[in-house]
Each structure stands twice: as C-alpha cells, then as structure tokens.
Chains A and B, each alone.
Chain A
C-alpha cells in the first residue's frame, strides 16, 4: 500500500534503531504527544527497541481522553432529550461520564448516531428539520477546521436546528504546563503530526526556544517515529534545542492556511478543563458569539453541570506522562476496556487502552520473549 508499507519496512526500522543506539551516550526521556503515535509505538514495540537509551513516556494527545468529565455529562444530558439527534465520532460513545455513557443513553432510547465527519451531522440536520441535531465537536486542532466549516455552513444556510457541543483542546498549552511542572522528566517531544498539518509548527519553535527543549514534528508510521526519535536524540546529544519537522510529506511550517482562516472565523481561544489535569488557561476553543445560535451549551442550558472524578483513577498522572498505565492499582482489574474508569482506557487512542491491548502481560513480568 502506498505511503504505508514504505514507512513500515522492518529493514529500515532496524537500521534506524542501530543509528539511535550508536548516538546515545546517556539515557534520555522523550514524550510523544499524540494517542495515534502511542498506539503505533505499542503495536510495533518500538519503545522496547529503543530502550534503555530512550525512555518513552506518553503524553496527553488523546482528545477523547481529555474531554472534561462535565462535558461528557453535558453530552449525555443533551443526547437523552427526546427532540435531540446526537451525532458523534464512534470512540466518544464508550467514554464514561459520571454515571452513564452514550451507548447506554442510546440503549435507553436516545437518538445517538455515529458519524464519520461533522458534514454527516449537517446532512442529518438538513434531512430532519424538526429534530435538533447536535454534533459532539471533540478534538485537538486537527478536527477543528471541519467543525468550523460545519458551523459556518449551518450559519450561512440558516440551519437553526444544527448545533455543536464544543470541546476542542489545544496542544501547546498542555506542553507548556508539562514543562513548567517541577516534576517534569521529559527532555524532548515528538509533536503531533496531524495537528501540525493544520496549524503548522511555529508555536513549537517558540516553546523550544523558551524552555530549551528539542521538539520534532512526527508522523504516525513506525519509521516516522523512529526517525523523529533519532532526530531528538541527535539534538540532545549535540546540545541543541530546536523545532524540526520529520513529517515533511504532510506538514509545512505555516500549516494549512485556509483551514486556519476558517477556524479563526468560527472559534476563539478560551480556558478549558482537561479531564484528569484540571483547567488550563487559553487551552481550548469555543464558538465566537456571532455563532451562538449553534452553540449547544447555550441552547440546551447545560452550563451548570459539574462532576467529580473517581479517586482511584490516575489518568491525570498518565496523561501528563508521570506514571505508566501499569503503575495504576486499578489497571486491568477494576479498570478494563469493558469497565473503564477513566477515558484513557476507553478511547482506542488512550495510553491505558494501548497498554491493555498490547502489553498487559508485562504487568506480571515473566519473560515471554
């Protein structure tokens, strides 16, 4: 398959691993930001291949995982309403709220639909003028342009029955928070390749300068990640701290200008609460006031919903890369993909789910290979 097989070539992978080993003179701690990157690392065992010279910790790049608990509860409240058709990406359906999840709301009679794109939700709104269609607009910067376009089109068409429940989060404020924390161990970052495809990597240049930490924009295939790791290790060994781009086939420094323009028209930056982390200033998007007719939070009056997270769940520490999923007392026992306590276990992109799927045998640590 084009653009995939080349980036999964085992011979090239071996060569990259050798180069990494040759460069490393002391152990380095690196973090990959995006959940999709975490999954690739786990699936191909790349973290094993680069150990012990490189220790990979997994960052908060799972938008499903970091969606605030009260936002999930708001979604459940809206979806349960008889006049609402609630449209969402598939992986949000399993995310646990305080007492329920969208699958259960669907089973109880709520009109919950899985869609592949916000445009599908827009089509539903056009086809069913007497239903209130609400789209769960979750994601990092990656999914924001499409969501912005959906709102913009709805506004232009006067589609008053279409609204979005916005829960966008931005990556750079999260990295900044990590770097400011006194317990931070991370010495280099693999920046999320598809976020940067949209917004470019200027902000990461600023972060690299301000905190003197190397950042490499990485792709999602195993060779992308190995190459990004090699680039980070080279910078660290040389004492450099710059932003570099490994994912050149997809990312340009300025990103996608048209997408950014649409996002700026529809969204404005706002403070946002991250599940397991808490509120981070200026770390999310909300709809601009001129689009409030399509803002589900205002239309359905759910602003007052608040929630508390279960005490045993350490997703806060996992999402910040301070603990591994296997460090959690509930992992694999009370917390499994079927009975998740926190979102990193639910979402396919979550660190806990990745560990559960690919590595849970390590918890009891008997040599299997």
Chain B
C-alpha cells in the first residue's frame, strides 16, 4: 500500500476498481456514489458499529475480514434483527502488501455473500508507515427488527433460564495460540460464524426469548454480568453444564486463563422464559450453529446483581467480569 492509495486520486480509484469491487461487489457498491441509498421495510431499524484490530490478521478459522462481517451481523442478530447492509472502512498502513488487502477483502465478500448480506458502502484511508498496525477495519450494520420483538439485557426476570449455544473459549485461545506461537496437538480454530439464521430459528419457535447476547471480548462471564447488572438480578449457572473443548481447557490450564473470560465469535447466550426454555433449546439444537446448546443456569433473585456458579463440588463461587487484561500467571 502507498500513501497515494488513500488520497482520493487515481491510485485510490484503481484500488477500488481492482481490489474492493471484485471482492465485495454488488450493484449498490458498484454505483460508486458517496453514499448508499437503500429501501428498508417500515419498522424499527437496528444499527450497530464495530472496529476490528485483531492480530494476527489471518488465523485458523478465519481472518479479520470474515470476523468483521460475522461480528457485525451477530450484534444485529442478537437484537432480533435481520441483518441487511454493512459498511466497511479500512485504515491501512503504508507498506502493507496489496495481496494482504486483497485477501481480506475477498474474505469479507465471501462471508457477506454466504450470510446473505451486502456491503454497500466502503472507505479506505492510508496512514504513514509506523502509524498504524497493518490493517484496521471498522464496520457498521443495519437490520430490521422483527415486529413485536423487543429483546433487551434489562428483560431478565426471576425464573428465566440461561441457554448457551455451544463450546466456549475457541476464538480467544485460537488467537492467543497463533500470536504466541503455541502449538497444541489438537489445534484450536476460531469459532467465528454468523448467527442470524440461528436467532431467526429461535424467534420463529418461541415468543419467550427475553434477551440474547454474543459473548465476545470478556467472555461468557462478562456478558452474564452485564445482563445481571442491567436487569438487576442474580444469575446462577452450573459449572458442569458449560461445554468447553478439551484442547481449550488444556490451553487455559497451561496459561492460567479462565475459559469463562475468553472471547467467542460464533456463540450466543439467551435468557428465556421458563415455559419456553425447552422449545427454544430444541430450535437451537436443530440448527447447525446450536447443535451443542445447553441450559446452563437460571435467574434466581433480585437481591443482588451478580453471577454465581455452582462448582462441580457443590459449593458456590462468584463469576466475575474480567478486570483489565487477562494476564498469564507467574506460577
């Protein structure tokens, strides 16, 4: 990449024509206007934004491009919205190979196409060498919220069940392994995936879903704590019900990390009314992205906003939010 690629002149135009349009291509983007003009069904529009700074850019199970598409889709999906349109803005560092940019763009295009969403507006800036860490992506996403559905982390009530869609810790450990050059006998790949068809299946099956969240940075523990705080409730989960892959557990043991605090990029947690729990669970298990779904806990009270966990020994401990960075232990 050259500084000129971000200057808005001929080099910029070539970059758009030769790299971004072929990769992300659709009629709206191809019109090359300063904005995308879209028809959206009347109703409530869900709108989200996110930035992606992951290193390394390419990892087992995905890359910064597919991650960006999936992450944006998921933020819309857990709000009960059908994701429709994405934006993508790139900040590139001078000197980054053109091929890297091409691969990322291609990956985004494929992820978007597979998920049935379109990247309809984009932007590129280039910063001087040393002033940016390779490649950053910012996205925004628009979706239409299903009529009659109001999901919120403030909706949890005593008696509600907590359902987790599958194995936790895959993404964070995959990234850490790649970054630190850790090798495992069973290599772990990121679980990065779009969840909107799963959420659709869940909402089709049941009207008793109160809230959904995707536990990304900070892990399941942080997400449950957010829900507990916003709803003003105590959530109790069962350690034995939470699925963690052996390889992820092993990596966490070695590094002194808690799987509950490790990021996920293809999982969701749902708070569901007790009478709807079995139906919601069945809908999840019937979907490829929810095959390992489990009921992991219950909302038990309103005296305190916290998350407790019943250990395999039958004792109870607090599950806390992550405080700052998770630091591998000295001993």
Contacts and interface: CB of A to CB of B under 8 A. Distances in A.
A276 interface: no
A104 to B, nearest CB: 12
Interface in B23-78: none
Given A1-B253, A366-B303, A91 B315 contact: no
A359 B331 contact: no
A32 interface: no
Interface residues of B, number: 28
A300 interface: no
Interface in A39-65: 42-46, 48-49, 63-64
A337 B323 contact: yes
Chain B interface helix/strand/loop/mixed: loop
A143 B331 CA distance: 8
A116 interface: yes
Interface of chain A: mostly helix, strand, loop or mixed: helix
Interface residues of A, number: 47
A36 B331 contact: yes
A59 to B, nearest CB: 15
A139 interface: yes
Contacts of B312: 8, 10, 44
Nearest to B250: A1
B273 to A, nearest CB: 24
A358 B323 contact: no
A357 interface: yes
Contacts of A124: none
A92 interface: yes
Given A13-B313, A45-B315, A357-B318, A143 B249 contact: no
Contacts of B311: 43-45
Given A91-B330, A143-B331, A359-B318, A338 B323 contact: yes
Interface string B315-331: 11110100111011111
> Max chain A CB contacts within 10 Å: which of B306, B316, B324, B331?
B331
B318 A63 contact: no
A360 interface: yes
A90 B328 contact: yes
Nearest to A195: B331
Interface string A1-39: 100100010100100000000000000000000011000
A46 B331 contact: no
A45 B312 CA distance: 10
B246 interface: yes
Interface string A110-144: 00001010000000000000000000001110110
B314 interface: yes
Nearest to A9: B312
A325 to B, nearest CB: 14
A92 B316 contact: no
Contacts of A222: 313
A64 B315 contact: no
A42 B323 CA distance: 18
A123 to B, nearest CB: 12
B315 A49 contact: yes
A131 B325 CA distance: 27
B328 A139 contact: no
Interface string B252-292: 01001000000000000000000000000000000000000
Contact of A361 (B246, B304, B327): B304
Contacts of B330: 63-64, 89-92, 138-139, 143, 347, 349
27 contacts: A1-B246, A1-B249, A1-B253, A4-B253, A10-B312, A10-B313, A10-B314, A13-B313, A42-B317, A44-B312, A44-B317, A45-B314, A45-B315, A63-B330, A89-B330, A91-B330, A103-B324, A114-B328, A116-B328, A139-B331, A143-B331, A348-B256, A357-B320, A358-B318, A361-B308, A361-B318, A368-B308
Given A13-B313, A44-B315, A194-B331, 10 more contacts: A1-B249, A4-B253, A44-B313, A45-B317, A63-B331, A93-B327, A140-B331, A358-B318, A361-B308, A368-B308
Interface of A: 1, 4, 8, 10, 13, 35-36, 42-46, 48-49, 63-64, 89-94, 103, 114, 116, 138-140, 142-143, 194, 222, 336-338, 347-349, 356-361, 366, 368-369
A-B complex: 3 closest residue pairs judged by Cβ atoms: A45-B315, A90-B327, A337-B323
Interface of B: 180, 234, 246, 249-250, 253, 256, 303-304, 306, 308, 311-318, 320, 323-325, 327-331
